[in-house]
Structure 1
Amino acid sequence: MANITSLVTAQWLKDRYLVGVDLTDDNNVPFPDAVFTGQIAAAISELEIMLDMVIDPITVTNEKHDYTAGVFDAPNYAPLMLHKRPVRAISGVTCQWGQNAAFTLPESWFNMSGSAPDFSGQLTIIPTSSTVSTLSSYGLPWGYRDVATLWYRVTYTAGYADPSTEIDPLMLDAIGLRASMLALDIAGNLIAGAGIANKSVSLDSLSTSIGTTSSATNSGYGSTIISYRDRLKVILPILKAKYLRINMAIL
């Protein structure tokens, strides 16, 4: 499975969000790739936290969930809300109470709300008709305890297997817009110097003057940064509405 950083590279950022920007220092040395890759990593992390999701594929092992009688079994079969989204596949579910022996539930009992990648993160465990008669052999606490703390242990994979085909283009746009701002800030300061709006040089009867959009609080590419921020203000609410899971608790 590919990582998003194999798609969102320093060159990707330059080709899409930094076209026409002089990305060299005063000695005409190109900015190091760390300027771009560091901000790409930060932008990806920010988006994951904001949307409560993971982008790069990960494996979650033995994620623990409580059992509550009448909630996660018949007649309600409420779903377990897995912590990492989008869910790709459930590898296994074991049950264990304290230090007692663990046992594995049949794969045929696992039901996800949607196809992979599933952003609901909801796993419903429903025994099949052919196995209902054998429930007692699994040692389930049904009918014996109202609550079994940390009963379910779920192992699953989450994230995007192939970001180049699966990830929403709006997510890529948000990452690119956010990650490009530091490079724009640095490049803007190097046009004439940080905070310098006008620069004049004269020698005998010859003189030259350079005017920029820089100021004490604004870099040379400040207008581009503002434009990118305005675009993010439009994109991020759309992504939140589409992907952010609303967690509810009824007391």
Structure 2
Amino acid sequence: MFEFNSIVVLSDKKDKQYMITLKEGARFSTQYGYIEHNDIAALDEGDIIKSTLGHPYLVYKPTYMDFVMNIKRQAQIIYPKDAAAMLMWCDVAPNQKILESGIGQGALSLAILRALAGTGSLTSYEIRADFAEQSAKFIKQFMGETPANHVIEVRSIYDGIDGTYDRVLLDLPEPWHVVPHLKTGLKNGGLIVAYLPTILQVKTYVDALKECGYFSDIETAEFTRRPWKVDGMSVRPEMWIYNHSAFLISARKLKNI
């Protein structure tokens, strides 16, 4: 059974998703009729419920992808295809001490926290207080509580880094200003991944990594997602793809020279 105030997804026969928060006495309404939230709460995950006009909906808890792609956004998110690549390139794993800067909506923060699995720590620097507040709510909404190993600080990473971290992930317009702080802010052998939308930003950032003299294995790539339609005898690429969203730049910290 689902609990009130929890989030559920209703998926219809055309795979259109509706993400709602269950409220006692509330009603989910569409052009195909309505469904009482109380009736949804009495179901188990994977059950099917019909609207008053007989339209069927599959009911389940949202996955990470369901949640970040359907949430009402007040800031740009890092899409799941890029968040997954960032976690892999940065080799995020339990028990690490991680720093991210540029929290935005909190989609990447949530992915990092799930990878940490309640261990280690994540510190998020965010220059905007409103983004810091809304991302904290976003993370709590999905996880059900505020993670004990997560701290959000309203500050600019351009001004410096307190402490030394195993991994650093950046979603900032000018990450080259962070490079001088990584001499002590990122441990030797540690990894950093930055997310940048334009190639001119990439050029400036990569030049800064090379010029400082304490980074190696610098790599730049972009990741696309190309869905395919498989329906009877119709087997072909979809007419649209998830194309360029940003460039990812990874690097490894050398021993300070």
Q: For the superposition of Structure 1 and Structure 2, which TM-score range results when normalised by the shorter chain? A: under 0.3
What is the TM-score when the length of structure 2 is the normalising length?
0.24
What is the TM-score when the length of structure 1 is the normalising length?
0.24
Q: 1 or 2, which has the higher helix percentage?
A: 1
State the structure with more CA Rg. Answer: 1
